[in-house]
Chains A and B, each alone.
Chain A
Amino acid sequence: MTEIQPFTGFGLGLRKNHYADYLAGTVPVDFVEIISENFMVDGGRPLFTLDAVRERYPVVMHGVSMSIGSAAGLDREYLARLKRLADRVKPLWVSDHLCWTGVDGHNTHDLLPLPYSEEALEIVCRNIMQAQEALGRPLLFENPSSYVAFDTDMTESQFLAAMCERTGCFLLLDVNNVYVSSVNHGFDPIAYLEGLPASRVRQIHLAGHSRGQDVLIDTHDAPVCADVWALYQLACARFTSVAAMIERDDEIPPIDVLLSELDIARSLSGHDARYAA
């Protein structure tokens, strides 16, 4: 339960608008990412569709509800359902976010920011160990976009590095989230990348964001911007054994538009993958 083999491909998220394309098996991607919670159901068409997609593509599972930073601990029923789905899908890996989603049994269904303190690190690491034990596999955790930063002991990249060292978990680097948070909180995104343990990064997310009244907001409703592409190039130079993908959750265009964007990711990455040949 200590290793996740690197997978250097290019993929997209599985979204309803594109189910027919994936079921036809004609989408030239190396892997497909699913939102775990969309398929943690008892039965019916979602699982039927997922099984059919899985026959055609490698799949990675990406969750939004583990709440690994919850001070009250993890939801055992959630972990059991996630394990059942992972046993069915046999994904390349399972990921979630460095965040918390609720407290005292309530859930905001948002990825809320943690203070990067020693106490939070201890709680997060304890939760990660519990989740990895429950799922019988190491997990990946994604750096979140944040709109609030607390005055604490560590930077986010220091927190992530310590988390990996203490628990053996891996990282999903969301380059857009680094950019959004760096603008919102005024830190150096390149120093952030340099602070991450290169050997623990297994996947990269790319996405678009929007400009709110006071902050950048991670909306996943637009193409990747030039600044994020530039940061992605730097990330690719540092993290060479990673899978990369475009996330789009709103204003979802036809699959060809996303594939063109994925071609940019492929060409900027500097390493080949199956569909790059």
Chain B
Amino acid sequence: MTLVDLQRRFYAAVTSPGETAFEDWEPALRPGLAVYRNAYRARLIECLRSTFEKTWTWIGDESFDAAAAHHLIAKPPRSWTLDDAGAGFDETLAQLFPDDSEVAELAWLEWQMQQAFTAADEPVLDATGFAALSKGFTEEAWASLRLSFVTGMRLRRIQADCGAIWTAIANDENMSADVLLDEKRSLLVWRQGLDPRFRMLSSEEAVCLDLLRNGGTFGDMCEALIKRLGVSGIEEAGRTLGVWIAQGLVRHAEAGV
């Protein structure tokens, strides 16, 4: 048997779902094969438990381990890094818990927080930098201001308050089972300095962020907020811009283009 054939056969034995007695292997090899097979499942389930610790707490050992085992069969690891074993676990959970949207949304949040933790370092535009850039801006310059956001930033529409679940579990507090939001909201995940962060956006901020991420200007943002809030919209636009800069969300700003 060639090496590649042996490796294919060995891989199949180690990763096969369900119980197996390795009857097509020599008896002397069977106890060892069982060690590798048990280690494969245990290591990957442990990895998913560690990556999705709060989702695991939320749904409990039995449900989580069953979902993890299902995920390993549906999406067996292909990456060189064990950390990637959790990729798409939120999609697996969405299929397994179709009536409990908070489960997949909480898993999405945990996954994105981990991605943000190791996202590429990049310079951000801080308050001092923005003050220098915008000094002497004319009204036209303000209206034409465009922003680039940090590349590690992620945004998702959510139906359940998975952020509140996260916080309750992190603080070891009880959480009501009634976690559905009155209406869908946007959840933002990014890294501020070295620390991953998340927060739920107001509907106004979500509209603004969507607008500017898709090439809109600060002028477009002011107009959108005036339509929603009246004259206080301009003040809200300035406040929102200040929050984005203070929280390290803005990578670059440019006027007059």
Contact = CB atoms under 8 A, between A and B. Distances in A.
Contacts of A115: 3, 6
A178 interface: no
A110 B3 contact: no
B244 interface: no
A139 B55 CA distance: 40
Nearest to B26: A151
B17 to A, nearest CB: 14
B32 A48 contact: no
A242 B116 CA distance: 39
A111 B43 CA distance: 12
Contacts of B118: 41-44, 46
Contact of B3 (A44, A75, A109, A117): A117
A119 B3 contact: yes
Contacts of A184: 32
B15 interface: yes
Interface in B1-16: 2-4, 6-8, 10-11, 14-15
B14 A78 contact: no
Contacts, number: 114
A65 B81 CA distance: 7
Interface string B235-247: 0000000000000
B9 to A, nearest CB: 9
A120 interface: yes
Interface string B91-107: 00000000000000000
A147 B32 contact: yes
Nearest to A119: B3
Contact of B194 (A44, A104, A123): A44
B10 A112 contact: yes
A112 B119 contact: no
> How large, as a class, is the contact surface on chain B?
35 or more
B194 A65 contact: no
Interface string B35-66: 11001100110010000000000000000000
A107 interface: yes
A71 interface: yes
Interface residues of A, number: 46
A104 B8 contact: yes
Contact of A103 (B11, B31, B82, B194): B11
B14 A146 contact: no
Contact of A43 (B29, B76, B80, B121): B121
Interface string B181-202: 0000000000100110000000
B31 A214 contact: yes
Contacts of A148: 29, 32-33, 36
Interface in A77-99: 77-78
Interface string A141-161: 000001111100000000000
A130 to B, nearest CB: 15
A40 B83 CA distance: 11
A103 B8 contact: yes
A171 B85 CA distance: 30
Interface string B114-155: 001111111000000000000000000000000000000000
A44 B191 contact: yes
Given A46-B118, A119-B2, A147-B36, A75 B80 contact: yes
A276 interface: no
Contact of A42 (B4, B36, B79, B119): B119
Contact of A71 (B2, B34, B35, B76): B2
B80 A112 contact: no
Contacts of A114: 3
28 contacts: A41-B118, A43-B122, A45-B194, A46-B117, A47-B121, A69-B3, A75-B80, A102-B11, A102-B77, A106-B15, A106-B78, A107-B77, A108-B15, A109-B47, A109-B82, A110-B39, A110-B40, A110-B43, A112-B7, A112-B10, A117-B3, A119-B3, A123-B3, A147-B33, A148-B29, A148-B32, A212-B35, A214-B34
Given A71-B3, A103-B8, 6 more contacts: A47-B121, A107-B78, A109-B47, A112-B7, A112-B14, A214-B32
**Closest 9 pairs between A and B when the two form their complex, measured CB to CB:** A147-B32, A43-B121, A148-B32, A214-B31, A41-B118, A71-B4, A42-B120, A103-B7, A71-B3
Interface of A: 37, 40-48, 65, 69-72, 75, 77-78, 100, 102-110, 112, 114-115, 117, 119-120, 123, 146-150, 184, 212-215, 217
